[in-house]
Amino acid sequence: MIQSGMATFSVQSAETSPEQITTVLGVEPTRVDLMGTKTRSGRVRQVNQWMVHVDELANSAADQTGTGALRQLLVLLRPAAGKVHQLPKDCCARIWWSAYSDSTQGGFVLLADISKAIADLGVDMFATAYLDEGNDTRSEHT
């Protein structure tokens, strides 16, 4: 069963500035990485990256789906619903959701309201479920 997860909404662009993305979506990013800066691996970033990130959240008594971080991300992105398609053509927007399971099968359930919120944004979600062995190093998508 999924025990926790983290979620990121990212927009990558070679021409559109992070400020323009913020204006179109009506949401403030939690992080911006500018084209031309170095990545952690030492490479030079080829695109601007605008992100809203929610750190790892564990299951709660009220929600045992492991989707708490994804749900929180979607709440933060509510003002952007229906606006993603207004981004310039050079922008690529998507949701990244990582979930940590205590089961080798790693299955999960996306409730209908979460699926609807993703559809309302008009973006694809890339999801990965990991077996949480308690000693892994977790990092956000960049």
pLDDT digits (tens, 9 = 90+) for 87-136: 999 999 999 998 888 877 766 788 899 999 999 999 999 998 887 665 44
pLDDT digits (tens, 9 = 90+) for 35-86: 999 999 999 999 999 999 999 867 777 777 778 899 999 999 999 999 999 9
Q: Is residue 14 part of a domain?
A: yes
Rounded-to-5 percentages of helix, strand, coil across the chain: 25, 30, 45
C-alpha distances in Å from residue 66, one per residue of 18, 98, 133: 30, 10, 16
Provide the 8-state DSSP code for 123: -
d(CA 107, CA 130): 10
Number of domains present in the structure of the chain: 1
Q: Is residue 137 part of a domain?
A: no
Q: Is residue 79 part of a domain?
A: yes
Element (H, E) at 19: helix 18-25
Q: Is residue 142 part of a domain?
A: no
The parent domain of residue 22 ranges over: 2-131
